[in-house]
Structure 1
């Protein structure tokens, strides 16, 4: 079951772990990512900033207790990390790792770092990449590339940012998705990003699919909408689920 990131933590199964990656596009996201970080930071078992993501984390917490939101690691080629931000986190014992490898972008370096640290618990870990939507189009497509490459390694792998939440539905099972209104929806979509899907069936959407082929250049399910509290989807190929996310109405809401 895909439980909402914004639901009451008591609704999640015991033993569930949370890991967070903060990406370099955090500053374009208004208050949405800030609210998620403040909601989830203390419960996350691993918190990693991808290079300049540390700048964004530092900046959005201006005037607040930054020491309460220290990452465990800052990792990347460090071409974006500002000197003042590096000094701040170094002085507080944050591990800053320079990885010059140019065959993997900074986001992927952080995913691999979390896999290494999580070890056998990765399969029970929900990985959330904050700041993954918006910004440069090639970087956003690279984020979806990582969804395809690493989703099978985690319990869930979620892209969050700029009013959007996305994850990959793998074939061979029925996916139960439980959005959390009013934070999620109603607008949503099912997108065959990566390869066509020959048979997609859904329940709980305004325009449900019945063994529907989905392919770019033929037919995609965009601008769909929630009609039920739970949505089920079966697919014969990897399929992106995406849903709009609203900012919370007040500081107390997750």
Structure 2
């Protein structure tokens, strides 16, 4: 019996930041966690986000960011959800007075992070439909992309998670764990083969992180800062094939990503094949406690990773999009 060929998963982590292009990004929502957030990314992403959800104490982070810009009374989230033990009372009262939807969910078997994701998945059709109607009536905007360009299927809500990798190490691991678990759940219970499910991207102070699924994955990485073409640097991948590809010609102020990437196995040993990086590998064994691919470099506009199990993919944000240290 011949097994069906796995469908290629398409990833485009910078499409939400490419506001200068003649396009509107696909439908997406923001989740703000109770961790240090990237205020620069937040300010860019808020313009096109369909909705912004604060996970309990994430409302404190959102408020402080808005207050630093003097817009705490006008720049407000749409929903705050969680057991509400972390949001400061005065901030809860502030947002309640402004009509923010505050949902108390006392489920002790899920985190505020997973409660936020569950809320968005339960209401995603409403978010997408209402936004599509609004956009269609506004000639000043480009039509929103609600259909997958390949399959023609209705696209699901992409979710961008702000925070999660700053602060305490155990909480960072918790967010990666839940990112992994939610990806696995939606790719086994979502419509069709799972390739049409909305992606989850974790945007931290310096990186964009997401979980690649088993099979072929294509990652679009335009406007990456690729200044180096040397093949003499050391790498953790002794079997890697080095590549000397053209340098990026994008001006620094237009960069969206730096060249550094990592591909990390999470659930046990993995075997990966890559192309488009400075050090490419073929059927390469990687595991925690063995060899792992860190500090590799992007060397193409589109890169490819084929993996036999889910793996974490993380890429560095361009300097101009990183959180400013205070």
TM-score by length of 1: 0.87
Aligned to 1:6: 17
Question: Would the aligned equivalents of 1:169 and 1:175 in 2 still touch at CA under 8 Å?
Answer: no
State the Cα distance separating 1:123 from its structure 2 match: 4.9
Q: Secondary structure at the match of 2:220?
A: strand
Q: Deviations over 1:135-170 (max 9, x none)?
A: 122221221222222223542100111212100100
Tell me if 1:188 matches 2:261: yes
Whose helix proportion is higher, 1 or 2?
1
State the Cα distance separating 1:174 from its structure 2 match: 3.1
CA distance, structure 2, for counterparts of residue 69 and residue 165 of structure 1: 24
Aligned to 2:112: 106
Q: Secondary structure at the match of 1:173?
A: strand
Alignment of 1:1-254 (within 5 A): 1-3=10-12, 4=14, 5-8=16-19, 10=21, 16-26=26-36, 29=37, 33-62=38-67, 63-119=69-125, 123-151=155-183, 152=187, 154-181=197-224, 182-198=255-271, 200-248=272-320
Q: Deviations over 1:76-122 (max 9, x none)?
A: 11111111111111011001111121111111110111111114969
CA distance, structure 1, for counterparts of residue 35 and residue 40 of structure 2: 15
CA distance, structure 2, for counterparts of residue 75 and residue 48 of structure 1: 7
State the Cα distance separating 1:178 from its structure 2 match: 1.8
Question: Would the aligned equivalents of 1:51 and 1:77 in 2 still touch at CA under 8 Å?
Answer: yes
CA distance, structure 2, for counterparts of residue 67 and residue 171 of structure 1: 45
Larger radius of gyration: 2
State the Cα distance separating 1:69 from its structure 2 match: 2.5
Question: Would the aligned equivalents of 2:27 and 2:158 in 1 still touch at CA under 8 Å?
Answer: yes
CA distance, structure 2, for counterparts of residue 177 and residue 207 of structure 1: 18
TM-score by length of 2: 0.69
CA distance, structure 2, for counterparts of residue 103 and residue 159 of structure 1: 22
